[in-house]
């Protein structure tokens, strides 16, 4: 008859017990020093070895050997191993929890052992006993006969009355650590000739939640399911655990704000019977590992499979974003126990982490005779003789902008307005400080879009989160406390208080470019132009005047240069860089 693995490999000696070293050492010393207590309380999570340690301890108490206990050769050891020792009595308190059962127990306690030195009563699930039964047992546990030892085992010591606990030596069993679990599972697999991946062993250990019995039961089920080698995907399929690839795809879609994909995959997982709590826990673990890898690339704390998924699908997201998602998931996980719908809580938590990108904008119409401070707001003007709304005029401008964006890119030799050729009024090679001309800023304003500015303005609030990111900090620091003036599809204009700050941002754009950083922050690469507050006010006033007189310039077209392979990269001169970012410039040597 087939015997379950957890029964077949139940330890027969303390040396074989997984974990609980502090308890084992204490019990060994008690026997060696002949300091045997009359009552012990073993408490801890399921499958951590409470009953196993109790049986081994009982075997050692009755072992006939003088030095090596248990010897496993004497009659007492053999009888205990076969489960038929008359002096070791196991009682299930769940079914024998009344006063009458305890009275029968007390009657039997007074009789001397039949075979061994001690009569050992192992009472399992002792917390199930009634208060009356506990009180009936109280006096016997306090002053039992010299030949009697009580071992009480429970997973809920808080339900055991304090008067019982105070009369016992209490031992708290801990969950078995991952390392001990994986070692033990590996040994069992070798003895049973079970072919299994190391990652599958690790997942089984994780699913067991620190219980050795649970781990061997899971292994037993996996052996029955698989006809050949057990893989990590086999274990995931049996226990409804989402694969690492699926977790990576889920996070990648979240980072790219593909909400439809995220929600659809979560609903598919629920319909397939996947454990959403486990999914949340695995995603938390994966994000935690990704942050560890940010600071310790060659660490052994992260498994190879996790490293692979992190490098492919997780690490492209900046660490502040990952930390934010991690916080939301941890908050949601703590609420699962009382959640009416786990999937709703999980979806809401993920949506909250990117909610800023999907805020619904309400359109507020400006009052008469009021001009919005933003260049792209709708302007309504009226006077005593005639009145008209320039909303349609703004629409025409936006249509022109759309047409210009579809037109051919401006090449190096194209002719543009004389003023826009002087886009950079002042360029010093020593510090490469840059000032944008008013005319070119007007061209940028004409090509900007109100909706785009509203979206980017919300996303720009996350800029400070990147100050702790090693790669993005230098870009984020220059964009702190800026005012977003306008946004187009490929660029944004920001206003700062001083001319020095504006020059610093423009120099950073010229030399290194903000495109990679804005792609992380805004979701799309953009060139950053900066103006100081004085120039900002001046240009906005001019924009209003020229819009009324229909003399606004054509929209500027800012082209994002495609990323080249390393073999194609050629070091550009300062003049070439300027022409790429600012069409039609004049360089002044000072």
pLDDT in tens, 57-113: 999 988 888 777 788 888 888 888 888 888 898 988 888 778 888 888 888 888 888
In this structure, the answer to whether residues 325 and 405 fall within a common structural domain is no
Tell me what pLDDT residue 590 has: 54
Tell me what pLDDT residue 335 has: 87
Instruction: Give me the mean pLDDT over the 475-485 stretch.
Output: 91
In this structure, the answer to whether residues 344 and 447 fall within a common structural domain is no
In this structure, the answer to whether residues 31 and 143 fall within a common structural domain is yes
Which of residues 224, 239, 254 is at a domain's end?
A: 239
| Residue 418 burial (CB count, 10 A) | 9
In this structure, the answer to whether residues 33 and 136 fall within a common structural domain is yes
Any domain includes 366: no
Provide the whole-model pTM: 0.55
In this structure, the answer to whether residues 399 and 507 fall within a common structural domain is yes
Tell me what pLDDT residue 556 has: 85
In this structure, the answer to whether residues 336 and 399 fall within a common structural domain is no
Report how far residue 427's alpha carbon sits from residue 433's, in angstroms, rounded to the nearest whole number. 6
In this structure, the answer to whether residues 336 and 410 fall within a common structural domain is no
Contact 189, 216 (CB under 8 A): no
Tell me what pLDDT residue 493 has: 94
Which of residues 220, 239, 258 is at a domain's end?
A: 239
Tell me what pLDDT residue 577 has: 59
Contact 510, 434 (CB under 8 A): yes
Q: Is residue 308 predicted with pLDDT exceeding 50?
A: yes
The continuous run of DSSP H or E covering 186 comes out as helix 178-191
In this structure, the answer to whether residues 484 and 539 fall within a common structural domain is yes
In this structure, the answer to whether residues 448 and 543 fall within a common structural domain is yes
| Per-chain mean pLDDT for the chain | 79
Any domain includes 8: no
In this structure, the answer to whether residues 502 and 520 fall within a common structural domain is yes
In this structure, the answer to whether residues 225 and 319 fall within a common structural domain is no
In this structure, the answer to whether residues 416 and 464 fall within a common structural domain is yes
Tell me what pLDDT residue 464 has: 87
Number of domains within the chain: 4
Classify residue 313 by its DSSP letter: I
Write the CB contacts of 254 (distance below 8 Å, at least 6 apart in sequence). 262, 325, 350, 353, 354
Comparing CA positions, the residue from 549, 563, 548, 554 lying closest to residue 584 is 554
The residue range of the domain holding 99 is 20-172
Could you tell me the pLDDT band of residue 580, with boundaries at 50, 70 and 90?
low
Instruction: Give me the mean pLDDT over the 248-264 stretch.
Output: 90
Any domain includes 1: no
- Of 161-165, 377-381, 548-552, 567-571, where does the model show the most confidence? 161-165
């Amino acid at each position: 008859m087939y015997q379950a693995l957890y029964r077949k490999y139940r330890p027969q000696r303390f040396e074989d017990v997984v974990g609980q070293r502090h308890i084992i050492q204490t019990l060994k010393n008690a026997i060696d020093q002949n300091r045997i207590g009359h009552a012990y309380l073993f408490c801890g999570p399921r499958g951590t070895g409470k009953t196993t340690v109790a049986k081994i301890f009982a075997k050692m108490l009755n072992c006939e050997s003088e030095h090596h206990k248990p010897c496993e050769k004497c009659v007492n050891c053999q009888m205990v191993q076969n489960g038929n020792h008359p002096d070791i009595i196991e009682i299930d308190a769940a079914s024998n929890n009344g006063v009458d059962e305890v009275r029968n127990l007390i009657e039997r306690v007074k009789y001397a052992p039949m075979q061994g030195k001690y009569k050992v009563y192992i009472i399992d699930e002792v917390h199930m006993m009634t208060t009356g039964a506990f009180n009936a047992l109280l006096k016997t546990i306090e002053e039992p006969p010299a030949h009697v030892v009580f071992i009480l085992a429970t997973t809920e010591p808080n339900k055991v009355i304090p008067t019982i606990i105070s009369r016992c030596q209490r031992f708290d069993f801990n969950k078995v650590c991952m390392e001990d679990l994986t070692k033990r599972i590996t040994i069992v697999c070798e003895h049973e000739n079970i072919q299994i991946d190391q990652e599958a062993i690790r997942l089984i250990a994780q699913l067991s939640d620190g219980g050795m019995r649970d781990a061997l039961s899971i292994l037993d089920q996996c052996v029955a399911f698989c006809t050949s080698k057990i893989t990590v995907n086999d274990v995931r399929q049996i226990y409804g655990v989402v694969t690492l690839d699926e977790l990576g795809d889920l996070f990648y879609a979240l980072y790219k704000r593909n909400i439809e994909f995220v929600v659809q995959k979560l609903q598919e997982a629920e319909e397939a019977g996947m454990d959403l709590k486990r999914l949340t826990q695995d995603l938390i673990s994966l994000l935690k590992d990704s942050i560890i890898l940010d600071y310790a690339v060659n660490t052994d704390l992260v498994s190879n499979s996790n490293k692979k998924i992190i490098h492919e699908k997780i690490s492209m997201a900046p660490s502040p974003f990952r930390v934010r998602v991690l916080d939301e998931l941890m908050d949601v996980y703590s609420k699962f126990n009382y959640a009416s719908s786990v999937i709703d809580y999980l979806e809401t938590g993920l949506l909250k982490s990117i909610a800023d990108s999907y805020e619904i904008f309400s359109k507020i119409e400006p009052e008469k005779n009021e001009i919005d401070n933003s260049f792209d707001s709708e302007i309504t003007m009226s006077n005593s003789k005639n009145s008209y709304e320039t909303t349609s005029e703004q629409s025409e401008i936006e249509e022109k902008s759309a047409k210009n964006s579809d037109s051919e890119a401006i090449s190096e030799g194209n002719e543009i307005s004389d003023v826009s050729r002087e886009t950079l009024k002042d360029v010093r090679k020593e510090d490469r400080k840059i000032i944008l001309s008013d005319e070119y800023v007007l061209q940028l304003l004409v090509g900007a879009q109100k909706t785009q500015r509203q979206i980017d303005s919300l996303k720009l609030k996350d800029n400070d989160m990147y100050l702790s990111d090693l790669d993005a900090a230098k870009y984020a620091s220059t964009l702190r406390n800026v005012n977003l003036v306008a946004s187009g599809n490929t660029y944004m204009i920001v206003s700062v208080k001083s001319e020095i700050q504006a020059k610093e941002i423009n120099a950073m754009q010229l030399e290194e470019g903000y495109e990679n950083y804005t792609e992380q922050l805004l979701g799309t690469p953009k060139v950053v132009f900066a103006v100081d507050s004085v120039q900002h006010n001046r240009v906005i006033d001019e924009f209003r005047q020229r819009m009324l007189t229909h003399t606004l310039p054509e929209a500027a077209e800012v082209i994002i240069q495609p990323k080249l392979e390393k073999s194609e990269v050629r070091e550009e001169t300062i003049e070439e860089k300027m022409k790429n970012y600012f069409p039609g410039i004049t360089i002044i040597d000072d």
